[in-house]
Structure 1
Amino acid sequence: MSGRLIVFKVGSSTLVDETGELDLGFVASMCAQIAELRRRGDRVVLVSSGAAAVGRSLLGFDARPSDIPTLQACAAAGQAKLIERYAEVLADDGLSCAQVLLTRGDVVDRTGYLNARTTFERLLELGVVPIVNENDTVSVREFSFGDNDMLGAIVASLIDADLYVILSDIDGLYTANPDSDPSASLIERVERVDTRIAQMAGGTGSSYGTGGMATKVRAGRAMIAAGIPMAICRGRAPRALVDAADGRGRHTLFEGDGMGGHEQARKLWIGLAGLSRGSVTVDAGAARALELEGASLLPVGVTAVEGEFGEGDTVSVLAPDGHLVGRGITRYSSEDLWRVHGLRLDVIARFLPDRADCPVVHRDEMLVF
């Protein structure tokens, strides 16, 4: 197993020790494993949380600040120390690293998305290890990734990775919370994220991190849609990075049945990077046609419209029970869709002739999850 492109994501709760300080021993172990993977021919991208956690310790805060300016100040101070440490340790193994800070605004724009991909490709060609984090210093809510689990998924899809690994503080997804339920068992493989799987994910488990198992499951759903296998494993297990790359050790693997071909890059950008401006709920028949038959979404299948959006915006498509079916570019504004939802195209053509053959979302412009 060599020559693959692997994205690792490490969270704050895994990076810091029990005192809230950056665990330098763990960083050294992780970097040594990255170097080992590089020596055998694998290319590695590291998505690293931890800047705000490191910065809050550096600036003398005992608890996580609650106001945005102080959090952003912590992120700015911590990012400098974090990347400095990575650079020092990787240099001992003869490797160079590059800091890549992103906001969602950088990839929502199609040109920005393609520019970011080109930068990653060139860094990897040069033998550099890109170290990615959200640019928390300038992020605002609208353009925030929300958590680095999804940031890692977007990076993995952007660079067409062969594997995405989330290094967590738990072995993977369990049937219940193993801390409170002794009967909980590890789920070794997930082929589809349905309501049952989503309900197994708990909330945030650490005072340092912003995510929990729910965010990891959402990332897993995105990776299944993208055709990229994703593993969740305990980051502090011995040789966790190498074992995850080789499919060994305790972990949960998100991999759809028959995965192998990646979705078109444009679909991935629409589904993962684009900001959803609203949502449309569809009936059971339409949801089934989208999920199983690769159909376009027609107005007759729409039962509800939420939010205000224009033609060309990205919208979320929801099943009757509320689960996310997919995201796509709408060919109707929310106002027009309210007028025609539930109607057949031949009926719509009587008062909107230009929409005689117009689906709400064409299958070529929709990523189905």
Structure 2
Amino acid sequence: MASTKGARTVVAKIGSSTLVDKTGAIDRAFVRSLCDQIATLVGEDTRVVMVSSGAVAAGREILGFHERPREIDDLQACAAAGQALLTQFYSQALERHDIPCGQVLLSRRDVIERDSYLHARNTLTRMFELGAVPVVNENDTVSVAEFTFGDNDMLGAIVAGMVSADLYVILSDVAGLYTANPQEDPTASLVETVHEVDARVSGMAGGSGTSFGTGGMSSKVRAGRAMLAAGIPTVICLGRRPNVLVDVAHGKRVGTRFVPSGSGTHDVGRKLWIGLSEIVHGSLYLDEGATRAVIDRGASILPVGVTKTEGEYQVGDVVNVLDPDGALIGRGAVRYSSEDMARVRGLKLDVIERFLGPDRAQPAIHRDELLVF
């Protein structure tokens, strides 16, 4: 991969399981050491965004929960109580280096709606200009779906796309992706480099996270796959390894690196927004010819190449794009409703025009609104 040394913009995501101590409380000493690393990078003219979980863990400490609550209202109460405390920890730790920080709370709605997405991006950009470190978290107090969003792994990927990051670092409680669960299989080995997330790599990812967080390796691999499509290098590494954030930003070989192809570019426009931010409403299955045209030539998806449609969706909704075997190859904004798609799939555009009129004869998904994984 291209060296990450000298990366000008780094997005780092850290999960609750890495932030807490053995009692489940936020480890203040570790937060200070993490902010020391951020300060080192800022001193090298690197812009840093910290996507931080931990609000619920901090709120548990305040509200007296002995383990992670299960009810949504309890989770939201903990997030509300803990968010201010979490931001205070970062603020105080960065203040020792004369670096201001600011809290940015995002909900799924903020990244689904294009205007809100652009406003959030402008806020982050302006904070960079003012020398501040944005500390981003999900606005868990007013949202429900976010608690299954993947321990902020995908939120970090979305933010990396927002700011055209040169590097996305997932600071985890494991050293990276292993060939098998190292706690169960002593022969498991670290996967140092990933060029493509196929069924074999997905199978290595395993299950869920710890009692302190919501994510697991599978969500990190999904985020890595999205970043491969965006052309943004991604590293999954052990967050408590000394000086790990600085080492990764300097290009040292640490953890598992997701390496974009040489043709990968920073696709931070509408394609990336669609591919990472939107809620998926359905799926389109393609035949072999359409699959090859999409992957090899970056073609639009025509109705004639669609073999099956699943789910209920409207014009403009985002759907998954699957190959004949059901493997996910991309995601895009569809130009037909699910009802109309069921009628026109398998038909050529001239046939659709004859029966529905010229305005209705169009690609199922235009290439400009399709992110290919």
Counterpart Cα distance in 2 of 1:285 and 1:355: 25
Counterpart Cα distance in 1 of 2:147 and 2:115: 16
Does the residue aligned with 1:137 lie in a helix, a strand or coil?
A: helix
Counterpart Cα distance in 2 of 1:333 and 1:209: 37
Partners of 1:106 and 1:113 within 8 A in 2: yes
CA drift of 1:233 comes to 0.5
User: What is aligned with 2:74?
Assistant: 70
Partners of 2:125 and 2:163 within 8 A in 1: yes
Does the residue aligned with 1:123 lie in a helix, a strand or coil?
A: helix
Counterpart Cα distance in 1 of 2:154 and 2:272: 13
User: What is aligned with 2:180?
Assistant: 176
Partners of 1:134 and 1:145 within 8 A in 2: no
Cα 1:105/1:146, change in 2 over 3 Å: farther
Cα 1:123/1:144, change in 2 over 3 Å: farther
User: What is aligned with 1:11?
Assistant: 15
For residues 184-220 of structure 1, the C-alpha deviation after alignment (integer angstroms, 9 at most, x for no partner) is: 1111111111111111101113111111000000000
Gaps of 5+ in 2: none
Cα 1:142/1:6, change in 2 over 3 Å: closer
Partners of 1:277 and 1:314 within 8 A in 2: yes
User: What is aligned with 2:269?
Assistant: 265
User: What is aligned with 1:90?
Assistant: 94
CA drift of 1:259 comes to 4.6
* AA in 1 matched with 2:349: L
Counterpart Cα distance in 2 of 1:142 and 1:331: 27
1:347 aligns with 2:351: yes
Bigger mean CA deviation after superposition, 318-327 or 21-30? 318-327
CA drift of 1:255 comes to 1.5
Counterpart Cα distance in 1 of 2:146 and 2:20: 28
Partners of 1:104 and 1:144 within 8 A in 2: no
User: What is aligned with 2:249?
Assistant: 245
Gaps of 5+ in 1: none
Counterpart Cα distance in 2 of 1:99 and 1:142: 18
Counterpart Cα distance in 1 of 2:177 and 2:194: 9
1:104 aligns with 2:108: yes
TM-score where L is the length of structure 1? 0.96
CA drift of 1:74 comes to 0.5
Counterpart Cα distance in 2 of 1:27 and 1:232: 19
User: What is aligned with 2:205?
Assistant: 201
Does the residue aligned with 2:66 lie in a helix, a strand or coil?
A: coil
CA drift of 1:342 comes to 1.6
Counterpart Cα distance in 1 of 2:115 and 2:148: 18
Cα 1:355/1:317, change in 2 over 3 Å: farther
User: What is aligned with 2:165?
Assistant: 161
**Paired residues for 1:267-286 under 5 Å:** 267-286=271-290
Q: How many residues of Structure 1 are paired with residues of Structure 2 in the alignment?
A: 369
Q: Over aligned residue pairs, what C-alpha RMSD do you find?
A: 1.6
* AA in 1 matched with 2:70: S
User: What is aligned with 1:26?
Assistant: 30
1:41 aligns with 2:36: no
TM-score where L is the length of structure 2? 0.95
For residues 293-338 of structure 1, the C-alpha deviation after alignment (integer angstroms, 9 at most, x for no partner) is: 1011111211211121111222211222322211111111111110
1:307 aligns with 2:311: yes
